[in-house]
Amino acid sequence: MPSDWALGLTESCKLTRDIGSQTSGKSDLPRFGALDEPGEAVNLINAWVAAATNNLIDSILADGQVSDQTDIVVANAVYFKGMWAGPFNKEYTEDGKFHRLDGSSFDVPFMQSGAKQYIACHQGFKVLKLQYKDGHQRFSPPSPFSMCVFLPDARDGLSGLISRIASSSSDFIQEHLPTSLVTVDEFRLPRFKLTFSSDMSI
């Protein structure tokens, strides 16, 4: 089963007040004289992102993120979709309780596996490393890229773990990653989708 979260890299798109036609990698930006119509600018940038990513990302800006006071817009779109080196069997997916920080819980699909996993146990938390496959062939070797999950032992321990990571040395994450495969009695991971965006407006 492929991971549901995704990152690919496209080229940056820049629009300024007196910009002419610009070329960014393979994508040509149409001529855009000025950012006097914010809605038009949002549509133009979103159309560029969709074309540059073959519609894998259909928009990057929402209405209201560009105003008539905007001097420059810098946009970068990233898309990645990897296959697990050790894929999960869809037939073993079962619903289970997922607990939120507010104490509530709800049923979500959990992926399961009986294979050995890269797991490291530390004081107060555990770390899981899931490797991606290098390529899309059935017997492709593992890639140098992995997804790492930091799981606090306490159900309400997430904020404490984040604070611990943020206040530690820059090598904290690397120093706590698992390095060997271990046998796990019961291994379950909720199916998930991750998205992230950041507004760098000043």
Note the maximum CA span of the chain: 63
Residues of the chain with CATH 2.30.39.10: 90-190
**What does the angle CA 93 – CA 95 – CA 96 come to, to the nearest 5 degrees?**
120
Contact assessment for residue 143 and residue 86, using Cβ atoms and an 8 Å cutoff: no
Tens of pLDDT along the chain (202 residues)? 343 333 333 333 344 333 333 334 444 554 555 556 778 888 888 888 888 888 888 888 888 888 877 777 776 767 777 888 888 999 999 999 998 888 899 999 999 999 999 999 999 999 999 998 886 666 666 678 899 999 999 999 999 999 999 998 888 999 999 999 999 988 999 988 777 766 666 5
Rounded to whole angstroms, the Cα distance separating 132 from 146 reads 6
Q: Which of 177, 147, 154 is nearest to 165 (CA)?
A: 177
pLDDT of residue 138: 64
Q: In the beta sheet, which residues pair with residue 7?
A: none
Topology at the third CATH level for domain 90-190: Alpha-1-antitrypsin; domain 1 (2.30.39)
pLDDT of residue 118: 94
pLDDT of residue 92: 92
pLDDT of residue 142: 67
The alpha carbon of residue 16 and the mean position of all alpha carbons in its chain are separated, in whole angstroms, by 29
Q: What DSSP string runs through 38-96?
A: HHHHHHHHHHHHHHHTTTSS--S--TTSS-TT--EEEE--B----BBSSPPPGGG-EEE
Is the sign of the CA dihedral 70, 80, 169, 171 positive or negative?
A: negative
Task: Give the amino acid at 22.
Answer: Q
Burial of 175 (0-12, 13-18, 19+ CB in 10 A): exposed
